[in-house]
Structures are given as structure tokens and as C-alpha cells.
Amino acid sequence: MLYVNRASLTLTLIHATTQLEATQTMSTTTTSTTQPPYQSLDPATGEVQETFETATDEQVAAALAAADTAYRAWSDRPISERAEIVSRVAALFGERAKELAELARQEMGKIEGEGVEEAEFCQAIFDFYATRGPELAADQEIPTFTGGTAVVERRPIGTILGIMPWNFPFYQVARFAAPNLVLGNTVILKHAESVPRCALAIVDIMRDAGVPEGVYTNLFATFDQVETMINDPRVQGVSLTGSERAGSVVAGIAGRALKKCVLELGGSDPFIVLDGDVKQLADTAWGFRTYNMGQACNSNKRMMVMEDLYDDFVTELVAKAQSVADPAPLSSRKAAEIVAAQVQDAVDKGATLHAGGVLSEGPDAHYTPAVLTGVTPDMRAYTEELFGPVAVVYKVSNEDEAVELANSSAYGLGGAVFGTDVPRAAAVAQRLESGMVNVNVPAGEGADIPFGGVKRSGFGRELGTLGMEEFVNKRIFVVADS
């Protein structure tokens, strides 16, 4: 479905101040940046619904102490008991899917059906780890050891800090929290400032499912408090989904503190079309590109189409863009303005805007889905992540040209190749520099499919069997023969 370099140690998180931060949150500057409020604001109208106070330093200290204390008891419980509680978390995500979808619509503009899908995906993720977690965390004997027994144990390590974005306010949390809770780690969650009600809805689910106090804690933390938590010795790791600039800040702080981090950052995924039914290919490309109004890290932000199909492919996309009568809003007015500025920069420098690309007068966050061609390296749209409903199409003459263009990006999250000759398409896909590669499908997705990238898209993996391998002590336990 889804589709530090600093003068001081002050950590700065900013809410989508450039498009590279549109996936959420953290950046660094040498000057002070105002803390964005934790505020529920409807992007369809621009109206503020509710504002929440940030945590006090005393509340942060209490949360750290509670998480550390809870870890001792939580990690000592049999994994079967932890899995049973996580299974109840899964059930509640399913039962409350419509309620959660409405919250996502109110806070970041998500279409109701897509919000329900997101909640149901969370159910699948928690179910996967509740069911498979005990097996994935089981001891692994080293068969070649002599003189006794030797096993690799997978043990929890403590409290993990999660810094999560607004674009999938439930799913991003699920894929981080589910494996850690089953493993026996405790979780502190700093969610995006723009989805506080979504964050609190997750807290309600955890409590109602029987997750003990201190095992899962939501904090409306400030910039400085996030840095304090990363540096605190009771926090053993940090996971961030956000921009590349955010990732560089977090990785720098975590590195100085000798903490493990997992980073899922931006993406500018290629979508290579070799041959096939143009209408069907355009349907697939457009549906994936505009899912969540184009606000997905792994959406197909760059489409490379062979020259014999190119004109018809663009024509099909234009027809689809022109048929959108009532688009959903982007997540915020700032997000819509950033996308509009990137497209306008391209047009000013010679690119062609075939359809869409109209920014509303405000204060709402509507931007009509667009089709853009003729993008060149001197344009922002060529190198920056376009985090909105803009289909950028490139004409290529052969496979080598397509692969060279695909790999020219600093990002390396995912990518897809489409062609009627499957071995040929697979051979092209093998040449892509990315963490996830797909043939004749935009993205392989599921609770059992690991997610993550390379290059400036980050490192580490979430979901699937690999999601249990990040924040775990792979302890070697040897018992000698008597």
C-alpha cells in the first residue's frame, strides 16, 4: 500500500522547511529555529483544530526512568506473553481502522480508503511479529562448535527512541514498534508535530491492548529534548524515518553517543518502462505516483520510458491528471508550496508542465496532480525529492540510458522495471542501485517484506525477518562440556 555539521550540539527539528524535509522533520542549522507546535490542523481547510503542550523536561526525565524500569520487567517476561499482547494491539488496529482513518484525514489529508488500508496494514504488521516473532528470536545453535554447546541468542537491548513522520502516521510507527515490543525492548516515540491526535490514538491502542506502562511512551518532545534522549545512557538506539538532512543529524549525535541507528530517508525511485500495453502501464504508474497524494518515500518519482512508447505514455498521464476533479490536499500548506516551487523552477528553466500544477490560494493545502517533462540537471526537480503528486517523465532510447539515469540519483530506496520479456526486465532491474528492486510491480509490499535503502536513502531495514535484526543483542552463549 505504500506506495553534523553544527556549531553546537543543539539538535534542530523543523517541520518540512524544504522539500527535502517533507518526509518529516529534522534538519540542522547554525542559527536557532522556532519549535513548531504540536498542532492538529486540517490541511483541507487550514483550520487549527487543537494545539498540545510540549513535554516538560521533568516529563521527559520521568519517561526515560519509566521506560528503563519497565524494560527490566518486560524483557524478563516470556516472549510468548509479549507476543500475545502485541497480537491484541494488532486486533485493535483492525477494529479501529475507520476511526484512525478519520484522524489521518483530519490531520494530514489522507483519503479515507487509504487511511483504512494503512490501519489494516498496521494490523498485519503487528500480527506478523506476534506470530513469527518468537521463531525469529529463537536461539540459533552453532553446529560446528566442539567441546560443549554454543548458540547465538537474540536478546533485547533496552529502550529505543523512534522519530516518526506524518505521511503514514500509523504504519511508520507500527513497523518500528512491533518487532521491538516482541523482542522485549521498550519504546519512546516522538511523532511528527502535525499529527498529535494520531499519536495519541496509538497510545490508546497500546494501553487498551494491555501494554504495560513505560513499555510504550509517546512524548511531544522539543528539539533539545530529542537530543537529550539520544545521549541518555538508558536509550540504546534510535530509529528515524525522515529526510536525509534529518538522518545526518541523528546519525551524528548517535555516533558520538555510540548508539545504533536505523535511518529510512528520502527516495526518488525510478520507474523504467521497456515495453508493453501503454494504457495499462500508465494506469499503474499514475496510481502509484498519486497514492497518498504522492507523499510516499518509495513512490515512482522518476519515470523513464522508451522513446517508442514515450508520447503515448505522456498522453495517458495527462488525461489522468486532467480527470482529477477534486484532489485531496497535501499534508500542509507549506508542503504544497514547496512542491509548487519545485515545479515552477523547472518550468522557468524550460520544462513542460502538461497538466495540473495549480496551487490553491490558501490557507488550504490543495495542489492539482501534475505531469512534467523536459526536466534537466540544472532544475531542482532533477535532484530533489518531489514529495507530492507530480509525475516526472523522461524519454530514454535504450536500457543503458535508462539505468544510467536511474542510478544518477543520490537516493537509492526502491525502483521498478516493466517489460513483457521478464528475463530482460529482470536483467535491467539487477543493475539498479537501490535497497528494493521490483519487476512488473511498482513495489513488493507486505509485513513480511523488508523495507529500506542505500546511498542517501539511509541504512538498516524494517519489516519482515530483517526487522527483528536491528535493535537486538546477538549474544553468543557457550557452555563447555563437563
Out of 120, 264, 316, 470, the active site residue is 264
442: nearest Cα among 460, 452, 454, 429: 429
Sign of the CA dihedral 274, 277, 283, 288?
negative
Q: In angstroms, what CA-CA distances link 426 with 172, 267, 329, 407, 435?
A: 29, 21, 36, 16, 15
Out of 297, 316, 445, 462, the active site residue is 297
Q: How far apart are the first and last CA of the chain?
A: 55
Interatomic CA distance for residues 145 and 92, integer angstroms = 45
Interatomic CA distance for residues 15 and 223, integer angstroms = 11
Q: Judge whether 261 counts as a catalytic residue.
A: no
3: nearest Cα among 376, 299, 422: 299
Interatomic CA distance for residues 348 and 352, integer angstroms = 9
Region class of 269: left (phi > 0), else alpha (psi between -120 and 50), else beta: beta
Q: To the nearest 10°, the Cα dihedral for 22, 28, 33, 35?
A: 60
Q: Judge whether 264 counts as a catalytic residue.
A: yes
Region class of 147: left (phi > 0), else alpha (psi between -120 and 50), else beta: left
**Cβ neighbours around 217 below 10 Å, total:** 22
User: CB under 8 Å to 478, separation ≥6 — which residues?
Assistant: 145, 148, 149, 150
Half-sphere exposure of 291 toward its Cβ, with a 13 Å CA cutoff? 23
DSSP character at residue 302: E
46: nearest Cα among 281, 436, 473, 366: 366
Strand partners, 372: 353, 392
- Catalytic residue ranges: 264, 297
